[in-house]
Structure 1
Amino acid sequence: MKYTIDPGRKRPSVNFIDSIVYSRKPDLDGNMLDLEMSIMLQNGNSEMRLAAGSEGEDRKKYLKPAILWVPGGGYRGCDKNLMTAECEYLVEAGYVVASMYYRSSAQAKWPEQIKDVKTAIRFLRANADKYEIDPDRIGVMGRSAGGHLSAMAGMNTDNFESEEWSEFSSQVQAAYDMFGPVDFVALMEADEIAMKDPNHRWKTVEDTHAGAIMGGDPATMKERAKSACTKYYINPKMSPMLIMHGDADPLVPTAISEEFYQQICDAGMEDRTDLYILKHAGHGTPEFFQPETKKIVVEFFDRYLK
């Protein structure tokens, strides 16, 4: 049978570029690690534009805002490409989406993880031309541990900078925190209560995800953990913040996101933060990638990056 159809162009084609080294950093044993990211972007036929001589002064109209995806994994490790398929909707909405690997708690202790995130942001700016990114429109988002790191990056402070790509800014114009453990002290205290159950998965605070990333003397761990709490960095330069959390999250209490939202409001910046509590949603369950939630995310980034 012979058919002639007109499928049209209802969606763009998407390119995927993997194994992009954005940094080289040592682990705890001094071994150098290649820290990589992958990038998804619309196929804009830049080669055809170059061949047609339409690059140059017209190039800026092809630049797109970028969003850095920061994976979760309890700081124990992360797979930069595990959730890339779920982020394709953002590429279709007109964004370049980069997904990064950062050092685990077994490879480096706090604050090296947020340094990795800020280095990745600066790398995107340094290579904006190559990936057709508008360097003035960069957002960040992540789930769980990645949500915490995204919220920290969204504070736009001068803390936790590395020397790489130092001529470029690590500031972001929007941040999306998905059920991030943004208050390590509160999380440690909640874990201490849970550990009264002899069947609990952890026996000491040092065993917990937060304890593993902090490391060092257990006697000073809670005090040192304050340096990883976003509430101490809320300031007028912080980016607009979208927060989502499930009301049935068994790992990160919903109250942690509720308190973070309230702390931003109490600082007089309620106009730049939105909190959504997702009914029946657990820790990273499918509710976070339904059409209704995706629409909220796209509208948030469109508001501040387009």
Structure 2
Amino acid sequence: MEEPFYTYDEFPENLSAEAGMKVIYGKDEMGITCRPDVVYAVKDGMELHLRAMLPTVLNASRRYPTIFHIQGSAWLQQNLNSHMGDFSPLVKAGYAVILIEYRYAPAHRFPCQVEDGKTAVRYVMDHLDEFPVDPHNLFLSGDSSGGHTAMMMAATWNTMEFDAEKTPLPALNGGIDLYGSVNCLTMNDAPSAYDHMAAHSAASNYLGFCPPDDPAECQRRMPFFYIHEDTVLPPLLLMHGSKDRTVPFTQSLELYRHLKAMGKTAEFYKVKNADHGGNVFYCRATLEVILDFLNRHLA
């Protein structure tokens, strides 16, 4: 017997009724598929991976707006599992989330992380047959050191700086910076649990020197100094905890003031009493803000 082939729409529904049988009228909500990691590049002998969380619906040909997220790690080795569960509401709302692994300090310092982020986005754009990504609705996101990397990527997106391939990148719809450091030179100007100018600090480990030892080179590694009036920049969303002991709240405040002065589109939210990350940044209130920002900037 030849096995028949049916599409979902063609397959006949069973309409049987039975006493005592109950019926659930389910909504066609998004499911979530977590893809196996994909190697997007090998650099300096290190395999670099993408981890994709994708919406699943009955329409297999559908493409989704996509968030490329840089997981924070103090620029050390990332744990890509850190926020996978936290991203679930975004995926169920119809957004693909692709986590990007980068080369990490101290073996790999600036600008490796920025270059790797751009390489990863290009890889996905070159493999759209493998990823259900909508190339016209792309967002960058990052938390902590990942916020720094995402903002460096956004600020230099339309230039050839810190770009290993130097081929055109797709347009961005927006960027999200969650409690990222943007100007290491001013991190000690606000209360903090750390001395960010010390030789053992995360910033010094990433830069390869203490920030005050070479202010000009430090500026070259900070997104703040790449945003000018003529910089092409997508709309940005900044969120930072008011009691962040690791990256001072003033880092995002400083960036927001600069963005406004340069005439850029930006939204800034102080997350009341939040420390450096944590569950508060993935509660309903903050996720609603993030989803609203994403939805308003779809093409």
Q: What is the TM-score normalised by the length of structure 1?
A: 0.83
Contact kept, 8 Å, 1:215 with 1:221, in 2: the verdict is no
The answer to whether residue 26 in structure 2 is matched with residue 24 in structure 1 is: no
CA separation of 1:218/1:178 partners in 2, compared to 1, >3 Å: closer, same or farther?
closer
* Alignment match, 1:291: 284
Counterparts of 2:196 and 2:185 in 1: how far apart (Å)?
17
Q: How does 1:12-91 map to 2 (within 5 A)?
A: 12-26=30-44, 32-45=45-58, 62-91=62-91
State the SS of the aligned residue for 1:137.
Answer: strand
Q: CA deviation at 1:5?
A: 3.6
The one-letter amino acid of 1:34's match is E
Q: CA deviation at 1:297?
A: 0.2
Counterparts of 2:285 and 2:64 in 1: how far apart (Å)?
24
* Alignment match, 1:207: 200
Counterparts of 2:73 and 2:102 in 1: how far apart (Å)?
11
Q: CA deviation at 1:168?
A: 4.8
Structure 1 portions without partners, runs of 5+ = 27-31, 50-58, 195-199
Counterparts of 1:175 and 1:217 in 2: how far apart (Å)?
29
CA separation of 1:267/1:167 partners in 2, compared to 1, >3 Å: closer, same or farther?
closer
The one-letter amino acid of 2:173's match is Q
Q: CA deviation at 1:223?
A: 2.6
Contact kept, 8 Å, 1:177 with 1:242, in 2: the verdict is yes
State the SS of the aligned residue for 1:160.
Answer: coil
Counterparts of 1:277 and 1:217 in 2: how far apart (Å)?
29
Counterparts of 2:275 and 2:31 in 1: how far apart (Å)?
32
Number of residues of Structure 1 aligned to a counterpart in Structure 2: 276
For residues 9-68 of structure 1, the C-alpha deviation after alignment (integer angstroms, 9 at most, x for no partner) is 252111110211111111xxxxx010001101112456xx6xxxxxxxxx5xx2211101
CA separation of 1:104/1:170 partners in 2, compared to 1, >3 Å: closer, same or farther?
farther
State the SS of the aligned residue for 2:86.
Answer: helix
Counterparts of 2:141 and 2:195 in 1: how far apart (Å)?
29
Larger radius of gyration: 2
The one-letter amino acid of 2:204's match is G
Structure 2 portions without partners, runs of 5+ = 1-19
The one-letter amino acid of 1:273's match is A
Aligned CA RMSD, in angstroms, stands at 2.3
Q: What is the TM-score normalised by the length of structure 2?
A: 0.85
The answer to whether residue 219 in structure 2 is matched with residue 226 in structure 1 is: yes
CA separation of 1:282/1:10 partners in 2, compared to 1, >3 Å: closer, same or farther?
farther
2:162 to 157, 160, 163: 160
Q: CA deviation at 1:183?
A: 0.9
Q: CA deviation at 1:128?
A: 2.3
Counterparts of 2:124 and 2:101 in 1: how far apart (Å)?
14
Contact kept, 8 Å, 2:197 with 2:210, in 1: the verdict is no
Counterparts of 2:34 and 2:168 in 1: how far apart (Å)?
25
* Alignment match, 1:54: none
Counterparts of 1:120 and 1:91 in 2: how far apart (Å)?
20
Contact kept, 8 Å, 1:148 with 1:177, in 2: the verdict is yes
Percent of residue pairs bearing the same amino acid type: 24
Q: How does 1:1-306 map to 2 (within 5 A)?
A: 4-9=22-27, 11-26=29-44, 32-45=45-58, 62-155=62-155, 156-158=157-159, 159-163=161-165, 167-169=167-169, 171-187=171-187, 189-190=188-189, 205-216=198-209, 220-235=213-228, 236-269=231-264, 272-306=265-299
Greater share of helix: 1
CA separation of 1:230/1:33 partners in 2, compared to 1, >3 Å: closer, same or farther?
same
